[in-house]
Amino acid sequence: MARVNLTDRAVQAAKAKPGERLELHDALTPGLTLRVTDKGVKSWVLRYRAPDGRSQRHKVGDAARMGLRAARLEAGRLKNEIDKGADPLGEKRKARVIAKALTVRTFGDLAAAYWVACETGEWKPKKKRKRPQTIAYEKGIYTRHIEPGLGPLALAEITRATIKGLLRDMTAKGIGAQTNRTQALIRQIFNFGIAEEHVVINPAMGFDSFHDAKSRRRIWSDPELKLLWTALSDPSDLRDKDGERLHVGRPVAIAIQLCALLLQRRVEVVGMAIDELNLDAGTWIIPPERMKNGKPHQVALPPRAVVLIREALAIAAEAQARREAADSNAKRPNRIVVFPGPRDANTPIRPDSLTHAMDKLRSSIGVEGATIHDLRRTGSTILTSERLGVSPFIRSKVLGHGTDAGGGAAVSSAHYDVNEYVSEKRRALEAWESLLLEIVGEKRRPSNVEHLRALG
């Protein structure tokens, strides 16, 4: 089986002869194959051996939506799972059988079938597979807001009035944006039900959203940033409104500090793992399955961020050592995550742990209405302000957005520019870290500051 050193250009140029199928086997990632049909359809396939020795071929993704780099990263992730005894294709077939065997009578039954279809990739309403964190987020909404009222009901019992009643109850409790997300999830589940011929109409459609969503514009002021950073660095003096001492664990505090320094989303920060990091080089590559746009994202780590990550890893190692000392049968984690959960060292802490901590911190330091995500907006705003002068294009690259074409044609940016802009992103984040540390009082502001101008 001949292998070739695939490049983005070679993938773009690959064509199959009429009536034939072309297969190009990647030399850098054994098992990864680019398949091209005579109709021009291109897909990525991973060849591997199942635990029982059978040769398997598992579709990794569509080449039209997944570039070479993303395909290699995803193939590497799958091969790690296979080395641990997993069989992706076998698991997909098994889940498909389970989904078909489910008896769908109630909305809870339909939701269960929907989750299986999402997890196996059988249901892709936007032509791309839902990410695990998206599915987990949807399940959280379902458990909190939907299951108690709709779960036990027969599908025929659920009308538009039923769903409106549920949403009205939510708004009456002061629930805002989650009301709209609940309606959207119910609508998705019913759309799946129509596609699978379990229902014929979607009662969650045909009426406006109950909550008027408004884009947030809140940013943290310099004094508020100093209050927050001081509380995160030393939470020993924090008190709640009743004067009781607040407890914010150091790993959670570090995670919030990294959200401020790196301007990445909380779900990306808490999911950080050692195999994504090169601390000596100061880089962090977030895999596509953990990114909102489904593409890998390289983050240039400034010095203080590296120090904080090393501290978090040391805390995790100490916790694992205590766990093993207390239980001789305690297993070592299969994958070292930077912020492991308290019960399972293989699973990172939940993103809402940061949100709950921020709620407590806000109350204690007297800052109203600011969230963790507002830290990302704050840094983004300051990057392109006169304080730092970073170009909007590089700011978008720092944030991991995939839609900014830098003033050029969008098609050129999407298909003909694979530049990571690592140097420019590093200068931008180092400038932001330096300014943030000056704001919070950890770094002395020089008398003559030369602002970073027009990166990129």
What is the domain-level CATH number for residue 324? 1.10.443.10
Question: How many domains in the chain?
Answer: 3
**35 lies in the same domain as 152:** no
Q: Say what the pLDDT of residue 443 is.
A: 81
pLDDT of 456 above 60: no
205 in any annotated domain: no
Report which of residues 54 and 157 the model is more confident about: 157
The C-alpha atoms of residue 205 and residue 185 are separated, in whole angstroms, by 11
> Bridge partners of 34?
24, 44
93 in any annotated domain: no
Burial profile 33-51: b = 16 or more Cβ within 10 angstroms, e = fewer? bbbbeeeeebbbbbbbebe
pLDDT of 331 above 80: no
Ranges 12-21, 149-158, 416-425: which has the least confidence: 416-425
Q: What's the rounded mean pLDDT across residues 134-145? A: 90
201 in any annotated domain: no
Sign for the CA dihedral angle at 294, 299, 305, 308 comes to positive
Residue 163: pLDDT band with limits 50, 70, 90: very high
**270 lies in the same domain as 347:** yes
Ranges 83-97, 170-184, 272-286, 442-456: which has the least confidence: 442-456
Report which of residues 333 and 165 the model is more confident about: 165
**295 lies in the same domain as 374:** yes
216 in any annotated domain: no
- Please compute Rg for the chain using Cα positions: 24
Q: How many CB atoms lie within 10 A of CB 17?
A: 9
**248 lies in the same domain as 395:** yes
Q: Say what the pLDDT of residue 446 is.
A: 63
**362 lies in the same domain as 236:** yes
Report which of residues 419 and 359 the model is more confident about: 359
Residue 447: pLDDT band with limits 50, 70, 90: low
57 in any annotated domain: yes
The C-alpha atoms of residue 405 and residue 64 are separated, in whole angstroms, by 19
On whether the CB atoms of residues 154 and 103 are closer than 8 A, the answer is no
Q: Say what the pLDDT of residue 254 is.
A: 95
Q: Say what the pLDDT of residue 291 is.
A: 85
3-state secondary structure the chain: CCEECCCHHHHHHCCCCCCCCEEEEECCCCCEEEEECCCCCEEEEEEEECCCCCEEEEEEEECCCCCHHHHHHHHHHHHHHHHCCCCHHHHHHHHHHHHHHCCCCEHHHHHHHHHHHHHHCCCCCCCCCCCHHHHHHHHHHHHHHHHHHHCCCEHHHCCHHHHHHHHHHHHHCCCCHHHHHHHHHHHHHHHHHHHCCCCCCCCCCCCCCCCCCCCCCCCCCHHHHHHHHHHHHCHHHCECCCCCECCCCHHHHHHHHHHHHHCCCHHHHHCCEHHHEECCCCEEEECHHHCCCCCCEEEECCHHHHHHHHHHHHHHHHHHHHHHHHCCCCCCCCCCECCECCCCCCCECCHHHHHHHHHHHHHHHCCCCCCHHHHHHHHHHHHCCCCCCCCHHHHHHHHCCCCCCCCCCHHHHHHCCCCCCHHHHHHHHHHHHHHHHHHCCCCCCCCCCCCCCCCC
**290 lies in the same domain as 345:** yes
Residue 97: pLDDT band with limits 50, 70, 90: low
Q: What's the rounded mean pLDDT across residues 58-86? A: 85
**331 lies in the same domain as 382:** yes
The C-alpha atoms of residue 185 and residue 163 are separated, in whole angstroms, by 12
What phi and psi, each to the nearest 5 degrees, are found at residue 36? -130, 125
237 in any annotated domain: yes
Task: For residue 52, give its domain range.
Answer: 3-85
Residue 78: pLDDT band with limits 50, 70, 90: confident
**36 lies in the same domain as 183:** no
On whether the CB atoms of residues 256 and 354 are closer than 8 A, the answer is yes
CA-angle at 304, arms to 248 and 276, nearest 5°: 85
**68 lies in the same domain as 106:** no
**241 lies in the same domain as 177:** no
High-pLDDT (> 70) share of the chain, %: 89
pLDDT of 219 above 50: yes
Q: Say what the pLDDT of residue 432 is.
A: 95
pLDDT of 414 above 50: no
Where is the domain boundary, 24, 52, 85?
A: 85
448 in any annotated domain: no
**306 lies in the same domain as 180:** no
Q: What's the rounded mean pLDDT across residues 297-315? A: 94
Q: What's the rounded mean pLDDT across residues 4-15? A: 89
Kindly report the average pLDDT of the chain as a whole number: 85
The C-alpha atoms of residue 433 and residue 229 are separated, in whole angstroms, by 13
The enclosing domain of 80 has a CATH number of 3.30.160.390
User: Angle, nearest 10°, between helix axes 177-195 and 107-120?
Assistant: 80
Identify the CA nearest to 115 among candidates 103, 123, 125: 123
* Assigned token pair, 91: 């698991």
Q: Say what the pLDDT of residue 102 is.
A: 60
pTM for the model = 0.63
pLDDT of 433 above 50: yes
Q: What's the rounded mean pLDDT across residues 307-334? A: 84
The C-alpha atoms of residue 266 and residue 57 are separated, in whole angstroms, by 35
Ranges 25-34, 69-78, 129-138: which has the least confidence: 129-138
The enclosing domain of 181 has a CATH number of 1.10.150.130
Cα-to-chain-centroid distance, residue 247: 27
Q: Say what the pLDDT of residue 310 is.
A: 95
Q: Say what the pLDDT of residue 409 is.
A: 39
Cα-to-chain-centroid distance, residue 302: 21
Q: What's the rounded mean pLDDT across residues 44-51? A: 86
Q: What's the rounded mean pLDDT across residues 426-442? A: 94
449 in any annotated domain: no
pLDDT of 413 above 50: no
Q: Say what the pLDDT of residue 453 is.
A: 52
Q: Say what the pLDDT of residue 418 is.
A: 47
pLDDT of 263 above 90: yes
**191 lies in the same domain as 235:** no
pLDDT of 120 above 80: yes
Report which of residues 425 and 415 the model is more confident about: 425
pLDDT of 403 above 80: no
